[in-house]
Amino acid sequence: MSDQEPTFWQASWTWIKRVFRWIAAPLPALLLVIGTILLIILGVKNIQIEDLLNKLFGKEDPNPKGKKAIDVANSIPENRIDKEGKLIPPGEPDSKGQTQAVVVPIQEPGLFDDPGKIKITPPGGEPIEVVLPDGVKAKDVDKVIITQPGDFVVTVKDSSGIKASDVDDLLSKYE
């Protein structure tokens, strides 16, 4: 059935849904923005409505954080084996002392979360909250590398307006 072209009624229904989305979506979006402004006036800080607006207008996430990339990063290369021929899992050192890092996703910030902080949960550990340098927002963070417990390296996305050298300068203030 998927090889056939859609019927007139199926094509019409698809077109009506698309038009209706663009006619009906501005009203809830306007109400959402007005509600956000009222909450800000009342003193609520760090409201993030960008994702809600994107879902309302049917836009896809420009930076999807699906599990596929994390699964690839956590896959074990075939040549990473011990003396007995068994695969060495991530997080355990090989005979040369090299350890494959375990990759975990950065938790998406909630509606009222502070955009100056991000949360990650290492395997088998408690959630860690990383305070970002001044001027760096959670949506700009590409990855966080835990070099030692309590010691982090933060990198920003290429699409961010923040230069990597600026992040290094900001982080040096905290050392």
pLDDT score, position 3: 59
Rounded to two decimals, what is the model's pTM?
0.43
The span from the CA of 175 to the CA of 168, in Å, is 11
The span from the CA of 103 to the CA of 105, in Å, is 7
Answer whether 162's CB lies under 8 Å from 135's CB.
yes
Q: What percent of the chain has pLDDT over 70?
A: 79
The span from the CA of 55 to the CA of 43, in Å, is 26
Exposed/middle/buried for residue 10 (C-beta within 10 Å: 0-12, 13-18, 19+): exposed
The span from the CA of 156 to the CA of 170, in Å, is 13
pLDDT digits over 127-139, tens only?
888 888 888 888 8
**What angle separates helix 8-24 from helix 26-41, to the nearest 10 degrees?**
30
Cβ-defined contacts of 65-74 (< 8 Å, 24+): 65/105, 65/106, 65/108, 67/105, 70/103, 70/104, 70/105, 73/103, 74/102, 74/103
pLDDT digits over 6-57, tens only?
788 888 888 887 777 777 778 888 888 899 899 889 888 777 787 778 777 7
Domain ranges of the chain: 1-62, 66-104, 106-175
